[in-house]
Structure 1
Amino acid sequence: MEAITVKNLYKLYRVGDSAVRALDGVSFEIHRGEFCAIVGTSGSGKSTLLNMLAGLERPTKGEVVINGSHIEKMGEDDLVRFRRENVGFIFQSFHLIGTMNALENVALPLMFRGEAPKSRLKKADRMLNLVGLSRHKKHMPNQMSGGQQQRVGVARALVADPAIIFADEPTGNLDSHTSEDVMRLMRKVVQEQGKTLVMVTHDDHLAEYADRVFHIIDGKIVKIDVNTPEICDGGERV
C-alpha cells in the first residue's frame, strides 16, 4: 500500500471577483519509507499542498488518502486524532517552548497522548540520543544553536513513532553548513527508522537528499525527478 495517494486535487481561493487556483489538478503517489521533496518558488502552491496532505486545509475538490484513510472526508475531531496518531511535523521556526529543556520539548507530543511521565521521558531520551544530542538534554532552547534546536525538532517529530513526517522548509532558518547536517540527519532517519518523509523547500540543492523531487509551478506538478543513490546518501555531488 502507498503511504500517500493524491488524486485530482484542487484548491481554489476567492480573491475579489476572481478565483485563484493554488492547486490545479494535482495527482501523485508517495511510497512507504520514501523521502520526497516538493520544490517550488513562493506562491507555487507547495505549502498549500503540504497543508492538504497534513489535513490542515481542506481541498476544493479531489482526494487525499494517507495509509488507506480518506482524510478529506474526516471531521475536525477525527483529523486531530489522525494527525496525533500518524503524523510528525518539523517546522522552519523550530517551535520549541522556551521554558522547557530539550528533553521536555521532545516529550511534549506524548503528553498530549496521555502517556505517563516516566514513559514519555524515556522515549524522549532515546530520540535525543538518535539525533546526536545526548549531551544537550537539559539545555534550554536559548542555550542551543539553531542546528541543535532543529535536531530537537526532528526528535520531537519522531517521538510518537509516526508513519509519516511532514517538514516545512526545515532548514529555512539555518546557515548552509548546518542545513546540510540537518538534511543528512533527516535522510538517516528515513533509512534507519523506515519513515515516510515529505519535505517542502524552495532549495533545489537540499532537495537532492530526497529519493524523488516533485517540482510544482502555478499549482501543477510539472516534473518529477528521481535522484541517484550517491546523491541521496549525501555523497559527492556529480
Structure 2
Amino acid sequence: MTETEKKAPISVIRVRNLYKIYRVGETKVRALNGVDFEIYKGEFVAIVGTSGSGKSTLLNMLAGLEKPTKGEIIIGKVHMERLTEKQLVAFRREKVGFIFQSYNLLNTMNAVENVALPLSFRGVAKRVRLKKAREFLALMGVADQEKHMPNQMSGGQQQRVGIARALVVDPQIIFADEPTGNLDSKTTMEVLRLMQRIVREQKQTLVMVTHDNNLASYADRRIRIVDGKITGIETGGRSALDETEEKTV
C-alpha cells in the first residue's frame, strides 16, 4: 500500500444498515440485524462468527448471491441491492473471485483447464486463457500440477489451483468462504501465506469468512458478528509471511 493510500484509504465495500429477515412459518428470523462497516482497497478482512451468526449470509449478500431485506451494499460506486439478477451475474463474472472450502474444481478438467474456465465465460481465446492460467498456477507454486486432474492432487494443491482460478480474472474483490476448512494445519499456513501475498503483491481486497479465531488473526481487520449484529471490529493482524521468514533464518 502506498503512503497516499495509507493516509486516505480507498473504500471498496460500504455496508449501511443491512438487514436480512427470513420467515420461518409465523416467525421472523433476523439473519442480519442492522450491519454497518467499510472495507478498503488492498485489505485482508476476516468476518468471524460461529455457525448461525449470520457471517455466511453476509458473504452471500456482498457477493450478490442474496438480496438484502433492507439496507445498502455499495461496491465501488455500484449499489448491489439495486441490480437485476442479470446485472449481478455480470458483476460476479467481471469483478469477483471466489475461493471455496470444498475447492469446487471440475473433476472432468485438469488444473490448467479449471483455472482457465472463468476466462472462457468472458470469451477469451483459448490460447490466451491457457497462457494466463499457467502464469497463475506458477504464481501459486503448482505449475507442475498443470495436467493433473483434481483427484490426482492433494487438498492443498487443489486449494492453490482454486486460488489461481479466483485470481485469473483480475478481480476487484476476492471472497473466501472457510478456505482452509478441509486442510491440515501445515497446509492451512501455506494457504494463509498465499492469501497474504495476494493482498500485498497483487493489491487485491480479500474478504474471508471463518469461524476460526486463529485463522482470523492473520487478517488486517476482523469483523466479529454474533446473532446478525457486529459486536466488534479489531485491527492489526499477524503475518504468516514474517513467521515463515523467521523460521528459515
Alignment TM-score > 0.5, same fold: yes
Where 1:200 maps in the other structure, the secondary structure is strand
Q: Are 2:206 and 1:197 aligned?
A: yes
Q: Is the 8 A contact 1:102 1:138 kept in 2?
A: yes
Where 1:33 maps in the other structure, the secondary structure is coil
2:32 paired residue number = 23
Q: Which runs of structure 2 are paired with 1:147-186 in the superposition (5 Å)?
A: 147-186=156-195
Q: Which runs of structure 2 are paired with 1:39-118 in the superposition (5 Å)?
A: 39-118=48-127
Where 1:81 maps in the other structure, the secondary structure is helix
Give the % identical residues: 66
Give the root-mean-square deviation of aligned CA atoms.
1.1
Specify the code of the residue in structure 1 equivalent to 2:185. Answer: S
Q: Are 2:212 and 1:216 aligned?
A: no
The Cα shift of 1:233 comes to 4.3
1:232 paired residue number = 239
Cα distance per residue 1:64-89 (max 9 Å; x no partner)? 00111001100000111111110000
Cα distance in 2 for partners of 1:116, 1:44 equals 43
2:6 paired residue number = none
2:154 paired residue number = 145
TM-score w.r.t. the length of structure 1 is: 0.97
TM-score w.r.t. the length of structure 2 is: 0.92
Q: Is the 8 A contact 2:115 2:168 kept in 1?
A: yes
Cα distance per residue 1:133-181 (max 9 Å; x no partner)? 1211111111100000000000000001001000000011111111111
Cα distance in 1 for partners of 2:63, 2:184 equals 27
The Cα shift of 1:214 comes to 0.5
Pick the aligned partner of 1:128 from 123, 131, 137: 137
The Cα shift of 1:99 comes to 1.3
Q: Is the 8 A contact 1:211 1:232 kept in 2?
A: no
In structure 2, the gaps of 5 or more residues are 1-9, 245-249
Instruction: Tell me how many residue pairs correspond in the alignment.
Output: 235
Q: Is the 8 A contact 1:110 1:159 kept in 2?
A: yes
Where 1:96 maps in the other structure, the secondary structure is coil
Specify the code of the residue in structure 1 equivalent to 2:194. Answer: L
Where 2:144 maps in the other structure, the secondary structure is coil
The Cα shift of 1:232 comes to 3.0
Cα distance in 2 for partners of 1:205, 1:58 equals 31
Cα distance in 2 for partners of 1:182, 1:227 equals 19
